[in-house]
């Protein structure tokens, strides 16, 4: 059984070797943030962070569940997304003929984290965590084909359309948990967000002039926005109600993310059901301040009476996205005619969301755990882009050394307009965008 679980989990991890993000996710930052393999395996629930420095990002009171006097952790994770865009082909009578896929992109980006847990006294825990996070990694490349007529109808390559939005940060977290009374733990943590790398690109590369190009000549804009450091934090509590039922709740503070300079902006268009991408090619925007929403978590852990140790996890997460905003500051010498109204007068109507996590951890007689989970991940933009994640993982112990591995996947699709529309092309207004996410993670821990 132990060998079968290891093989199954290893296949899952190998299948999930990368991370990228969809068109919308990097511009609003709504993909789940997870830095511990156990948490990923049980439906991305905070209960998987129990006793680990990774709890500094979710509920710092869970540090109280750390038993060793000193623990060191290191982890690697890789996320991947496959994005496919297509539109239906119709005959002269308007009937459906086929679903034409015209672009397929797949990218992956790795991340890492290291941390330490310290138990100086029986009722006090300290922890520190450093992790690297790719907040934005959307990379889009589309081949543009022309059209020749004759004995054979061919589609020669006439150019490329490209979009890129990359932004990574280092998160440094410090926190502690105290045990003031019986099974009650209180915790607080502060998170310092330091920018690492940022780049935005919009490009139409013309190899050969064609009516099927969005431009008659090559257009290329590449900028490196500057982000200011930010500070946020969380405070929380855990309480063992009975020896079989525990409660955990926490709140993450809202914070501001300030960007200076830039090229790509997500803005509202009252004629569209989803936000659109605005290209500030004349660089009228000097600074934009993004207000990130707060987050309230509530979870339960049930330990039923069972010969084989089993834990059931449940958690709900409420995010106040109606509090999110983008405030633009324009250059004093900017031409008012170059500033679209939708940059400031029609904010994106984000909706508050409630996310739901389920997880189970079953430990066999051999000591090897089997973890499974489900995560309902609604989008703050539109219900059409809601995601449901399915997760799994296991772990192995070799003396004082622990290894945990896990994986997750989800799929989704929504309707959206062509990112590089062609004037002469007549087709349905919206493309179908299909996305497939895969996540793989491994966490190493040494207990002293």
**Mean of the pLDDT values across residues 49-58?**
94
Band (12; pLDDT cuts 50, 70, 90): very low
Pairing mode, if any, of strands 295-302 and 264-267?
unpaired
pLDDT score recorded for residue 106: 85
Band (437; pLDDT cuts 50, 70, 90): confident
Is residue 18 over pLDDT 70? no
- DSSP secondary-structure letter at 17? -
Select from 19, 24, 9 the least CA-distant residue to 412: 24
pLDDT score recorded for residue 446: 95
Residue with tokens 């739901």: 356
pLDDT score recorded for residue 78: 85
Residue % of the chain over a pLDDT of 90: 52
**Class of residue 190 by CB neighbours under 10 A (exposed 0-12, middle 13-18, buried 19+):** middle
Between the CA of residue 151 and those of 148, 154, what are the distances in Å? Answer: 10, 9
Is residue 65 over pLDDT 90? yes
Between CA 300 and CA 306 the distance in angstroms is 18
Give the number of other Cβ atoms within 10 Å of residue 341's Cβ.
8
What DSSP line would sit under 273-291, residue for residue?
SS-EEEE-TT--EEEEEEE
Which H/E stretch holds residue 38? helix 37-41
Is residue 95 over pLDDT 90? no
Residues 6+ apart with CB under 8 A from 128: 53, 56, 115, 116, 172, 173, 174
Q: How many CA atoms lie within 13 A of 147 on its CB side?
A: 6
C-beta separation of 167 from 220 below 8 A = no
C-beta separation of 161 from 172 below 8 A = no
Band (186; pLDDT cuts 50, 70, 90): very high
Please list the helix, strand and coil fractions of the chain in percent, rounded to the nearest 5, in that order: 10, 60, 30
pLDDT score recorded for residue 3: 45
The encoded tokens of residue 278 equal 């605005």
In degrees rounded to 5, what are phi and psi of residue 21? -135, 160
**Mean of the pLDDT values across residues 435-442?**
90
**Tens of pLDDT, residues 372-431:** 999 999 988 888 888 899 999 999 998 899 999 999 999 888 888 888 888 777 777 788
**pTM of structure:** 0.87
Residue predicted with more confidence, 276 or 170: 170
Which region among 107-121, 257-271, 383-397 has the lowest average model confidence (pLDDT)?
A: 257-271
**Tens of pLDDT, residues 321-380:** 999 888 989 888 888 777 766 676 668 888 999 999 999 999 988 889 999 999 999 988
Band (224; pLDDT cuts 50, 70, 90): very high
C-beta separation of 16 from 407 below 8 A = yes
**Mean of the pLDDT values across residues 25-35?**
61
- DSSP secondary-structure letter at 420? S
């Amino acid at each position: 059984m132990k060998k079968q679980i290891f093989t199954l989990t290893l296949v899952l991890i190998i299948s999930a070797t990368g991370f990228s993000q969809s068109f919308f996710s990097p511009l609003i930052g709504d993909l789940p943030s997870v830095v511990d393999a156990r948490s990923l395996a049980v439906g991305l629930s905070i209960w998987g962070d129990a006793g680990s420095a990774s709890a500094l990002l979710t509920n710092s009171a869970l540090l109280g569940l750390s038993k060793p006097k000193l623990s060191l952790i290191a982890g690697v994770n890789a996320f991947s997304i496959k994005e496919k865009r297509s539109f239906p082909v119709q005959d002269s009578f308007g009937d459906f003929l086929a679903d034409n896929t015209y672009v397929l992109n797949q990218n992956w980006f790795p991340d890492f984290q290291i941390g330490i847990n310290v138990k100086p006294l029986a009722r006090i825990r300290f922890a520190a965590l450093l992790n690297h996070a790719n907040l934005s990694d959307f990379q889009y490349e589309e081949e543009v084909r022309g059209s020749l007529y004759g004995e054979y109808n061919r589609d020669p390559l006439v150019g490329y359309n490209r979009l890129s939005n990359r932004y990574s940060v280092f998160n440094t977290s410090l926190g502690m948990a105290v045990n003031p009374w019986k099974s009650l733990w209180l915790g607080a943590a502060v998170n310092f967000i330091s920018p690492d790398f940022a780049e935005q690109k919009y490009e139409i590369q013309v190899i050969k002039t064609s009516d099927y190009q969005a431009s008659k000549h090559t257009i290329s804009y590449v900028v490196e926005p500057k982000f200011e450091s930010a500070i946020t934090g969380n405070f929380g509590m855990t309480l063992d109600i009975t020896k079989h039922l525990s409660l955990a709740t926490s709140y993450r503070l809202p914070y501001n993310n300030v960007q200076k300079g830039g090229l790509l902006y997500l803005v509202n268009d009252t004629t569209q059901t989803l936000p659109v991408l605005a290209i500030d090619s004349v660089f009228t925007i000097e600074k934009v301040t993004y207000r990130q929403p707060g987050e309230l978590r509530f979870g339960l852990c049930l330990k039923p009476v069972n010969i084989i140790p089993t834990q059931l996890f449940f958690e709900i997460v409420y995010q106040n996205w109606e509090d999110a905003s983008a405030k633009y500051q324009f250059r004093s010498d900017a031409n008012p005619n170059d500033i679209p109204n939708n940059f400031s007068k029609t904010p994106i109507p984000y909706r508050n969301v409630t996310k739901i996590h389920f997880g189970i951890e079953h430990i066999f007689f051999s000591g090897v755990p089997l973890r499974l989970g489900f995560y309902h991940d609604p989008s703050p933009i539109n219900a059409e882009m809601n995601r449901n994640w399915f997760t799994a993982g296991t772990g192995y112990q070799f003396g004082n050394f622990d290894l945990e591995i896990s994986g997750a996947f989800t799929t989704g699709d929504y309707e959206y307009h062509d990112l590089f529309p062609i004037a002469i092309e007549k087709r349905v207004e919206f493309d179908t965008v299909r996305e497939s996410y895969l996540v793989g993670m491994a966490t190493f821990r040494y207990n002293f």
